[in-house]
Chains A and B, each alone.
Chain A
Amino acid sequence: MKNVLAVALGILSAIGGFVDIGDLVFNTQAGAIFGFQLLWVVVVGVVGIIVYSEMCGRVSAVAKRPVFDLVRERTGFGAGLMTLVASEVVSLMTCAAEVGGVAICLQLLSGLPYRFLILVAISGLVLCSWILPFDWIERIFGYLGLGLLVFAVAAIKLHPDWGEVGRGFVPGAHSGGSLMVYLYFVVGLLGAAMTPYEVYFYSSGAVEDGWGVRDLGLNKVTTMIGYGLGGLLSLALMIVAAVLFLPRGISPEFLGTPPLAAEHVLGQVGLLLALVGILFAVGGAAIETSFSGAYNLAQFFGWKWGKKERPAGAARFTLTWIAMFGLAMAVVMTGYDPVKLTEYSVIFSVVALPLTYLPILLVANDPSYMGTNVNGRLANTLGILYFAIILAISISAIPLMLLTHGGQG
């Protein structure tokens, strides 16, 4: 039973963290422009996040050090501070985008004014984070986020040409947009799958839960099943967009568009499930990003941190996550489009990826931290391969965004 509950940590990370507003935006847009042709990128991204989450979960279990401790210890003060600033900016932008997503879902459900619903969303999220223990947050947001499974049902019920879908898992020549736009979506989909806040949150959660060597098996299962499930939903979103939006020339630039696909296939129930699923997946991600901001700052400066502490017991940590929500609210209150904000946050997060992932790779290979649990040959081969991929996409992310005007061609 304890194991079943522990896997909820993975389900929250998978759905709240894997399918968040970034995946919703990039997967549906990619499907609407390129059909099934970018499905392979989702697989590459999912394997990448599994490899690095497993690694940082293992480091958290064995050495009890969360990711930003490693960043500080391995890159030093200067480069660490740069990574900190970049990751705080990205966490804040992502948090703002997720809060905007929550407000849009609430608006579609209630019809009340957007800015009022931003206030409702922020109050609800802060209250949940303040009152509820972490395992309750995990359960509530994780399980209600499972409403997103409606997209998997829709993808099957739409009867896509499965041969065509299969060919999408093989990278190759593309059609339906320029090469630059295609590459922009490759970078965006990888960035959405491998967002840095997922590893910040996952590793800090593992340290908070007091993981030890006995939890290494659980770590493997959680990352593989949790992110695997998240990846299936990403694939489903792209397939649905490819079947419904591409032939009709619909560009899902509004967050309310994907739920309409669920309604098209499954009626009112489908629409409701999709909206509830998105609401809680995106709400869970808003909490994860605000806490990631607090984890990172506290870990960089060595403060007391943790949701398990009384709020006053880790005062600076508590103030930081409240401030993250406050700043996120200020950003969305400007009325800036959350979908645009999402695109920017995903592209900028790609730039911060190498300095987040390199310290994990180095420490996972260091016997003075890891003893006999250092990376095996498979973890290292994949770790180095993915580090090369991350370097390549982090260099090309901003040029591609500028060249394609954010994927517009």
Chain B
Amino acid sequence: MNQTTDVDLALGILDHQLVDSEGNNCGKVDDLQITGLDGDSPEVEEILVGGNAWRSRGRLGRLAARLSGNAVHVPWHEVEAVSSVVALRRPAAEMRLNRGDEHWAALIRKLPGS
């Protein structure tokens, strides 16, 4: 993003929809990895998607994290733009997002008319 805009991380990015370069939904911003909080230039380093990214999201989140696998880490430089969604620069598959859909699609494709 070249233009300077103010975005509230908690309200404007966290829990928002991730959309890949092909316009497909590919998860939510489940957590943010922020570095440099001790210094004067804190920076969002990564977006964490799914699995144990929910660990930090309250009691229910801890439970959900324990029941699922590892989070996918998406580096912030993969972000194309932030509007009511967070748009990414590349297709979901290249960032290991949406693996759940690929997994189940194999099953659904066996049905006629799928």
- A residues near B (Cβ < 8 Å) are 63-65, 69, 72-73, 76-78, 80-82, 130-131, 298, 300-305, 310-316, 318-319, 368-369
Contacts and interface: CB of A to CB of B under 8 A. Distances in A.
A304 B113 contact: no
A315 B57 CA distance: 26
Given A76-B15, A311-B108, 13 more contacts: A65-B17, A77-B60, A298-B25, A301-B28, A302-B17, A302-B49, A303-B25, A311-B113, A312-B114, A315-B102, A316-B101, A318-B108, A319-B107
B61 interface: yes
A37 to B, nearest CB: 43
A186 to B, nearest CB: 33
A369 B84 contact: yes
A69 B83 CA distance: 14
Contacts of A301: 27-28, 50
Given A77-B30, A78-B59, A81-B61, A316 B54 contact: no
B16 interface: yes
A119 to B, nearest CB: 19
Considering residues B98, B102, B104, B111, which has the most beta carbons from chain A within 10 angstroms of its beta carbon? B104
Contacts of B64: 81
Interface in B25-58: 25-28, 30, 49-50, 54, 57-58
Contact of A72 (B18, B26, B28, B107): B28
Contacts of A314: 101
21 contacts: A72-B15, A73-B11, A77-B30, A78-B57, A131-B113, A300-B28, A301-B28, A302-B17, A302-B25, A302-B27, A303-B25, A303-B27, A304-B25, A304-B101, A305-B25, A311-B111, A315-B103, A315-B104, A318-B114, A319-B107, A369-B84
Nearest to B17: A302
B52 to A, nearest CB: 13
Contacts of A64: 84
A70 to B, nearest CB: 10
Contacts of A305: 25
A300 B29 CA distance: 11
B84 A316 contact: no
A320 B64 CA distance: 18
Q: Is the contact region of chain B dominated by helix, strand, or loop, or is it mixed?
A: mixed
B12 interface: yes
B92 to A, nearest CB: 9
Contacts of A298: 25
Given A80-B15, A302-B17, A304-B24, A312 B109 contact: yes
A312 B108 contact: yes
A315 B111 CA distance: 12
Contact of B101 (A65, A303, A368): A303
Nearest to B109: A312
B77 to A, nearest CB: 20
Given A69-B17, A73-B15, A302-B18, A78 B114 contact: no
Nearest to A302: B28
B15 A78 contact: no
A130 B100 contact: no
Nearest to A366: B11
B84 A78 contact: no
Nearest to A82: B60
Contacts of B57: 76-78
B105 interface: yes
Contacts of B61: 77-78, 81
B15 to A, nearest CB: 5
Nearest to B100: A316
B88 to A, nearest CB: 12
Contacts of B108: 311-312, 315, 318-319
